[in-house]
Structure 1
Amino acid sequence: VSPLYSDSDVAREYRLLAADDFRTVKVVKNTPHEVVVSLSGTSGNNRLEQTISLATGQDHFHIEVDALLGQTPPRLEYLLSLFAFVGGNPPDFTHVPCLKRAADDVIGDRIFDAPATIIQKEGRLTALVPDLDILNEEVIYAQGARPLEGTRGFRIPQDPAKISMPTIMDLDLKSGLTAAPVFAFGLADFFTEQHMFWRHENLKGAMVRDLSTNRLRYGFDLFLRADAAPFRGYQSISQFLWQQYGREFLRQPRPQAMPLVEYAKVCYPAAFSYKGDIARDTKRYSEGLAYDPADSGPLVTWLEFDLDGSPVGGIRATPSQWYNDIQFSPWWNCARDAVGMYWWGKQTDPSLVEKARRIVNLALTAPQKQGVFPSIFRYSDKRWYGCYWKFPADFKTKWTFPSSWTPKAIPTTFWNTNSNLYQTAAASKTGVYLLHYRRLCEDDTRILPYLRPYGDFLVDHLGDKACIPAMLTVDFDPVPELAFNAEGGIHIWFLCELYQATQEKKYLDAAERMATFLAKEILPQQRWYDFETFYSCSIKPEDFFDSYTGQWPQCTLSMLWATDGYTSLYEATKNPDYIHNAEAVADYAGFFQAVWQPHFMISAYAFGGFRSQNSDAEWLDMRQSLFGEAFVRLGKLAGRQDLLERGVAAVRSSFAIINHPRHIANDIFHYPRYPLGIEPENIDHEGLPQNPLRSGFDWGEGGGLAAAATLLCHLGGAYLDFAKNLGVGVDGVYVKWFDCHGKRIQVELVNQLALLPSAYDSTYPIQFRIEGLAAGKYQLVVNGRALGDVEIPAGEGVRLEIGPSSITKVISS
């Protein structure tokens, strides 16, 4: 029997399984609109009650558990609601927020971004979604809760008396209690291990905790279906989480604290002048000391110079091991930064346009071999390197993963800053953004001739399986590592962009073959394998499979790329299968986006941000800016209001942990280490209140500004599409409602920046985009006030002035 449910050598009196002790059933409410049933009983001197409600039109049961502990002081190891799934074992599909590596692991609330336990067999599905409102309302403090295994740096101070008793979920396909899968939710403590596992110590009452109150309460929603689409039942659960929680948090004013243009004015100069992080900077930050430019590194972050007579430039990486590197990698990519900088340069600072051009100049100097090119330019050497990975000859992709905290058992010999391997995802990502630069910024005639040979390279190396190797030797031999991977989305995206530029069908045909591979081999079991899944900070063997939860390792990078790849294929072909697949991937990625602000998240305001993978613990990871762009792009095409909202929330969250007085004043980010205007790459990376280091401009404020440029370019500061019934605010505003009768457009906009505790009390302009109406002249009424006539279509939109208390006027149409 799984140790979590065993009666052997445990403190049984403190381990409460709610359903074991219910003896009384009572109908509390029975109306045409709702039925509520109560189950109650006792366990020792503890009283337990569970209410189950079902309302008309509701597609799930709502369940709440209340307990009154009779002991003083109140003590508890766990209180859990436990269920068995009798729809068939093994399931076809399962999902919980993280992996387990041992029988005593659980799913800790530290990774409850958008928590759900989902089990599906054919059309039969059950899903448990914790009630996040109750989790924030009914906080119970516990002495000694949330202990750590191993040491942690960069910690944020925490009052020991204000550490809450955690909640957990569990999924066990081999519990020993029954042949059926069992799943649970409730109150229990855990150790945080390796920043990706959560272990409950079961023996001898080791995790019995003294609680702050004897009244306990939690709730959850329980979904039961018999008609779920095969392997796709999770989509409605992901959408429910946003509709139930995310939408309400989006209405609230944080985390944006000022107009987006103000971030550009502060962040670009601050980031470009920063000289850290050499070892002295890292040591200083670990000791809680401030940045000292007089005792920092020799290089500012923006580097410009001549190379073979051409003016070039780039943004160097921050960490000491990459301090001299200008990166065009699958993570940090200067080509993406160039697109954002060009747009902002046209709005604010013309020098950004020149910097963007220098980046493009540098990117086009990367030496090609049959089209493929390296991803790292080393400023100190003035030469190009392949990537950051090179596997020793004796490296094994299959090895035994330790079932306990054993850091020395984890191999790290694959890191190599002088690698000559070609990384195909890096080349394709650079290609995507160079083509974006050509299409959206200026038609640099060098870009297409440079990238066409790389497109031909991908077509020629597609192979029978249509899975491009993650890395290649200089002789184009596939590296054995990641021979099977899910990185195809970035190649699909690039080939579709190349097809749109050239109209050469071979690129589209290759993209469609890769899309078929993803649909057959990756999407059904969500096997999102990319370089970060195994070869970054969450190292695992490539054959790792969690037999307890039935899950494979997953990374959101390849999900992101698949979303963009399938969206691009739909744009190129109008084949509805592709947009349905894009939505399926986006909905799964939604489980890694924070749909709320948990009470235990003290480091920063984390709503809208992303986690990297199902074996990592960070919040507000800066890939969220990329997801923001992808979700908005797909949401517009698919007519998905929730994806538009998710995209806006993700981009806003990209600015949350910037050091700025307005963020401190508005309780968005209280613990800056870095100077004004710049930010770390995430928070709470190791599963505890923590302010980690910075990896670079692109995985920080630069990525946020690039994504903000994309949203402002395509949506404006607020956006309506009457044909698709879409409406979303982007730049500090919220679209409360909108309507059009005849030639009269009415909309209610809320100035969220004016609602902050430390309100932004200046006026600022936004472009208000209106689509989906017949051409002509319309009267525009905003917040009950007629602002005049506007012509539809309005090109760049209607320019409104947003004031602290109202929308004051139309500046131009």
Structure 2
Amino acid sequence: MSAIREIVRLDGVFKEYVGSLTCDWLGGVRPSIEVTYPRDGVAKVDIRIPLDRDVRQDDWRIEVRPAFAPTFRWAPHLAPTDGHVIDQHAFRAPALIVHDGRRKLAVVPDLDALAKAGDGAEADSPRWYMDLDAPANVLTAGLCATSVKEHVLFVREPGALFVKGQVEFGFYLFATEEPEAIDNPWRDLLAFFWERWGLPLYAQGQPVGGELEPYVRRAYQWAFKEWGAAVWQEFELAGKEVGAPAFIVNVTQSPNYPGPYSEREVLSVWNQAWFSSLRSAHGLFRYGKLTGEAVWIERANKIKELALSAPRCGGGFFPAVVATEMEEVEIDGRRCRRSKGWSTLYWGNSDRNPFGLGIREAPLHILDMSWTALLMLRWHAELESDERLVDYARTYADSLLGLQDERGYFPGWIDAESFQPCGVLDQSPETSLSVTLLLELSALTGEQRYAEAAYRAMDAVCEEIVPEGRWEDFETYWSCCRWGREWLGRPIERNGMYKQCNFSMYWTAEALLACYRSTGREAYLRIGRRCLDELLMTQAAWQPPYIHVPTLGGFGVMNADGEWNDARQSLFADLIVAYGMELGVDEYKERGVAAMRASFALMYCPENAEVKRRWEEAWPFLNERDYGFMMENYGHGGRTSPVRDPMGEFTIFDWGNGAAAEGYLRMRERFGEALLPGKS
């Protein structure tokens, strides 16, 4: 850290918010600092440091010490020790926010200055970072070299090289006592990000322009024709012909791959919170109605029949996964993983669970069952009447009600034999998805008991989860990012924040909108908007030069991982627009459409020329038979590269191209071609 620090003087109201603001010298050179005030409550600080030589320095920073003791803190990523930072890779809508219930202060990097700074791709390049040290009450923004540790956190590295020339850095300070800005600490910043950076890009046609239906055709052509042998699984079950897309396929299963294929994971079909074949079936059904081609409806119905074939247990509970036995075989001298075929099928549940159990042994996940039951009700209401779907969902809901605890929550996992809670995430925001299910069931059946249970659950989440940002769900700790499980149920002390996943923000915002629509209570809408805005802080509001795919509108996942343009955006988009319609807010409508468009930005196809080039650089054997292939996200490992970019190796139809197609078709039907133009 530099030994010489410059004190930055602030005028007016900022004296009541900022106890001190200091700026390092760099290589012995004093910074030139200019402070302007674009509008009331906003200060812009521009810093220039002219270097007449290259400088090696471990760190350069500005430090903001609030003039109050915060009771609320927010940052886009976790920095759990003094050695960690929030690297620019996590800058989707970057801000450090604190308030004490009366005064709010936020630090926002100047993304225009960051865009000029280059991609920071070299190991010793100074990269922009932020840091939030809660015990010391210090907000930091600066430059240092970084590397990726764990999955995915960022750490400081010594010896950053600041090259000869002018170093430019800048940031904004936001200060307010407006009660609305305390109640919803993200709204004013989101509006700023969108107006300043997001909307101009959106108006230019970012992240992808033109009609989206060609991407849908690419996805279905890829899954059911060119890669059909690997993707589409069809077999007989209890005397019925059923089928569904395989959970996952990889590049070795391309018809163009020059060697024998090897399956990445167990050949299986899932109806889980991420990977939902029944959700994909909604898209196929809608596509069949749109195009008049019966084949799509036939396949959708086979997926529906598979979902209805899941054997019930413990009353109305049911498994989420049907899988096959696997084996290793040697082909042309290579060890390959292969399925033994659907004659070996067995039922089970997601192996993304806290207990380290595989599909066959895993406990039942309430979240997965509630999601599948909700999709059944929506099929019946929106696509085609089928009382079997209602009966299946209702039988499950009756069993679900028996699990509601005295506080109103539904548990996370239940034992597959005793059907008792497993003791992990038994009071979590996963409950919110069950709220939406119960409200839709109540509206469909007229039975108030379902709605009463839903409101009890919703009130518990509003009182205990939302205020402290306890967004802990299965993905927070038991996906690929398993760091921090020792923090389950408590915030990381150094940042004053929980490890958070935006999936549970989405379920809660959706449930609150449903509660508002069924009761008319404005409190539900207000809290729902707060949850939606917290979710939108994980949406990209600009195009970083170091993220080498279109990013506007795309989503990250959590505050300890690296994804950009994650497949969840095709699920979130509909809800964002729905809030825009309910509130009459254009920004939400635009953000929702941007999210939907970002859902196709990673597809390998001629429409995405630059992305297509990157795919071919990564996998030279790809050609027109692979158009439609699409990774579920980008930049997952916390680093990208201008060349030889790690584009990924697999596609999950139900959490990638098929999910994007479903999202587009659903939104087009609900909101019309004025919002999402297309052609049949």
Q: 1:42 to 1:688 in 2, by over 3 A?
A: closer
Question: Which of 429, 432, 436 is 1:486 aligned to?
Answer: 429
Distance change >3 Å, CA 274–CA 466, structure 1 → 2: farther
Q: Tell me, yes or no, if structure 1 residue 594 matches structure 2 residue 525.
A: no
Give a deviation string over 1:489-545, Cα, whole Å, max 9, x none.
211111111112112111111111111111111111111010111111111322463
Secondary structure of 2:233's partner?
A: strand
**Match of residue 406 from structure 2:** 464
Change (3 A) 1:124 1:306: same
Contact 1:257 1:666 in 2 (8 A): no
Q: Tell me what 2:127 maps to.
A: 166
Q: 1:354 aligns with which of 294, 298, 313?
A: 298
AA aligned opposite 1:686 = G
SS in 2 for 1:191: strand
Q: Deviations over 1:654-710 (max 9, x none)?
A: 101110022125889655646211201111111012322335101111111111012
Q: Distance in 1 between matches of 2:513 and 2:372?
A: 18
Mapping 1:146-545, distance limit 5 Å? 165-175=126-136, 181-201=137-157, 206-211=158-163, 213-229=164-180, 230-273=182-225, 299-318=229-248, 320=263, 322-348=265-291, 349-369=293-313, 370-378=315-323, 380=342, 381-389=344-352, 414-473=356-415, 474-539=417-482, 540-541=484-485, 542-543=488-489, 545=491
Q: Quick check: 1:41–1:49 contact (8 Å CA) kept in 2?
A: no
Identical-pair percentage: 27
**Shift of residue 186 of structure 1?**
2.4
**Counterparts of 2:143 and 2:352 in 1: how far apart (Å)?**
42
Describe the superposition over 1:702-728 as per-residue Cα deviations: whole angstroms up to 9, x where unpaired: 111111012211222324xxxxxxxxx
* Alpha-carbon separation, structure 1, partners of 2:441 and 2:24: 66
The 1:49–1:667 alpha-carbon spacing in structure 2 relative to 1, beyond 3 Å, is farther
1:274 Cα deviation after fit: 6.2
Q: Is the 8 A contact 2:186 2:537 kept in 1?
A: no
Aligned residue for 1:326, secondary structure, equals strand
Larger RCO, structure (CA 8 Å, separation 6 or more): 2
How far did 1:333 drift? 0.4
Change (3 A) 1:616 1:41: closer
Alpha carbons 1:429, 1:494 under 8 Å: kept: yes
Aligned partners of 1:606 and 1:140: how far apart in 2? 15
Contact in 2 for aligned 1:125/1:228 (Cα 8 Å): no
- 8 Å contact kept, 2:321–2:359: no
Measured after TM superposition, the shift of residue 42 of structure 1 is 7.1
1:240 Cα deviation (Å)?
A: 2.4
1:716 aligned onto 2:662: no
Q: Which one of 49, 56, 71 corresponds to residue 92 of structure 1?
A: 71
Give the letter for the 1:492 counterpart.
Answer: V
Distance 2:319 2:368 in 1: 8
CA distance in 2, matches of 1:656, 1:389: 27
- Aligned-pair distance for 1:26? 12
How much does 1:44 deviate?
7.0
Deviation at 1:74, TM superposition (A): 3.8
Counterpart of 1:131 in structure 2 is 110
Residue 559 of structure 2 corresponds to residue 614 of structure 1:
yes
- CA–CA separation in structure 1 for the residues paired with 2:379 and 2:89: 39
Q: Is the 8 A contact 1:47 1:69 kept in 2?
A: no
Structure 2 vs 1, CA of residues 480 and 66 (structure 1 numbering), >3 Å: closer, same or farther?
same
Asked if the contact 1:656/1:669 (under 8 Å) is kept, the reply is no
The answer for the alignment partner of 2:579 in structure 1 is: 634
Q: What are the within-5 Å matches in structure 2 for residues 642-791 of structure 1?
A: 642-664=587-609, 673=619, 675-689=626-640, 690-694=646-650, 696-719=652-675, 730-731=676-677, 765=679
Supply the AA of the counterpart residue of 1:699.
W
In 1, distance between residues paired with 2:174 and 2:145? Answer: 26
Structure 1: 5+ residue stretches without partners: 6-11, 28-37, 146-163, 176-180, 277-298, 393-413, 720-729, 732-763, 767-813
Judged with a 3 Å threshold, the aligned counterparts in structure 2 of structure 1 residues 562 and 140 are, in CA distance, closer, same or farther, namely closer
Residues 641 and 548 from structure 1, CA distance in 2 versus in 1: closer, same or farther, beyond 3 angstroms?
same
Letter in 2 for 1:50: I
Q: What is the letter of the counterpart of residue 274 of structure 2?
A: W
C-alpha separation between the residues in 1 aligned to 2:612 and 2:167? 29
Does the CA contact (< 8 Å) of 1:617 and 1:684 recur in 2? yes
The CA deviation at 1:650 is 0.8
Question: RMSD value over aligned CA atoms?
Answer: 2.6
Residue identity in the other structure for 2:193: L
In structure 2, what is the equivalent of residue 64 of structure 1? Answer: 46
Deviation per residue, 1:280-335 (Å, 9 max, x gap): xxxxxxxxxxxxxxxxxxx5211223322223211111154544211000111011
* 2:520 is aligned with 1:574: yes
The Cα of 1:64 is off from its aligned counterpart by 1.2
- Counterpart CA distance in 2 for 1:432 and 1:62 is 47
Q: What do the CA deviations read for 1:594-640 (whole angstroms, capped 9, x no partner)?
A: 111101112x2222111111110111111111111111122211222
Change (3 A) 1:125 1:668: farther
After superposition, the C-alpha distances for 1:419-473 in whole angstroms (9 at most, x for unaligned) are 2411110011111111111111110121111111111122221110211111101
1:443–1:42 distance in 2 versus 1, CA, 3 Å: closer
Q: Return closer, same or farther for 1:256/1:350 CA change in 2, 3 Å cut-off.
A: farther
CA gap 1:617/1:391 in 2 versus in 1, 3 angstroms: closer
1:107 is paired with a residue whose SS is strand
Structure with the largest fraction of helix:
2
Q: Which residue of structure 2 aligns with residue 396 of structure 1?
A: none
Report if aligned partners of 1:386, 1:419 keep a CA contact under 8 Å in 2. yes
User: Counterpart amino acid of 2:658?
Assistant: G
Counterpart CA distance in 2 for 1:257 and 1:227 is: 38
C-alpha deviation, 1:765, in angstroms: 4.6
Asked whether the equivalents of residues 39 and 50 of structure 1 are also in contact (C-alpha less than 8 Å), the reply is no
* Aligned length in residues: 623
Deviates more, 1:221-230 or 1:679-688: 221-230
Structure 2 unaligned spans of 5+ = 13-20, 250-262, 325-341, 641-645
Q: Distance in 1 between matches of 2:219 and 2:139?
A: 46
- Residue deviations 1:150-186, cap 9 Å, x none? xxxxxxxxxxxxxx531011111234xxxxx111112
Structure 2: distance between partners of 1:311 and 1:76: 66
Looking at structure 2, the residues matched to 259 and 695 of structure 1 have their Cα atoms a distance apart, in angstroms, of 23
- Cα distance change of structure 1 residues 45 and 326 upon mapping to structure 2, 3 Å threshold: closer
Structure with the greater alpha carbon radius of gyration: 1
